[in-house]
Structure 1
Amino acid sequence: MATTTAATAKAQAKADYNAFLAVCPSHKVLERISGKWVTLILSALGSGPDCAGDPRPMRYSELSRVLAGVSQKMLTQTLRSLERDGLISRTVTPTVPVTVAYELTDLGLSLHATMQGLKAWAESHIDEVSEHRAAYDDAVSPASAAP
């Protein structure tokens, strides 16, 4: 009987990841990155409101301005969770007042273009989605079911 090393076992487990299976640990990652604020932060981080240009560090206040509508609490919580997941890094510069900048890590950069694409898709297709929603709502509303 052949024994497997820890590295071999880990590599096999990684090869067996399948997000369609209920026990797959990738569910936690999908749950984390599928949130609205995560998508917007990762797409905006370093690119600004128009998502043009290359990713660069951004200060908290700059992110707050770009992400109109995000509360201070939600932005802070989301940035912390992204830092915990290794998608962004936080750099504190001892100035008066203290300067804090956030930037994408290599792992975050690997997701950046996808998030920008998702944001762009939502912006370009909102009218179509709205039309489909209205048509669906009209078709299933109680008024349309009356004799």
Structure 2
Amino acid sequence: MRRIRIQAENFDIAAETAALAETSADVGASVAFTGFCRDEGGRLSALELEHYPGMAEAELSRLAGEAEGRWPLIGLTIIHRYGLIRPGEPIVLVLAASAHRRAAFEAADYLMDYLKTHAPFWKREHLKDGTVGAWVEAKSTDDDAMERWR
């Protein structure tokens, strides 16, 4: 089972994990990664995320298909939020389920590396002093992490 959602609303990590575990009696392991908004040392009031509707869903679906082709996954959930997200709130959830832990760990790791570098989302900082910062640039460390999957 594959579930992909892009939404403004928050999500319930425990409920999403339970729903994934219920997809099959063959689930022996699930791995969850949740990315949260940081306050960047107290200077950030929110992070604004934008995306291209349709294109973003298609890219997440393509990435999910690649993961399913590389590992024997029983279930996969990807949820990515957009809009204004406050520090401490979740931004992204990747859940990977398989019969065995290694496949679930590797698939979740792979998906996060690719989401950080290929998913069509853009982030802009909203600062505590009331100003809107620049769009956040991609990090070379994210590109380096992604290279190991090639």
With the shorter chain as reference, the TM-score category is: under 0.3
Larger relative contact order (Cα-Cα within 8 Å, sequence gap ≥ 6): 2
Structure number with higher strand proportion: 2
- Structure showing greater radius of gyration is 1
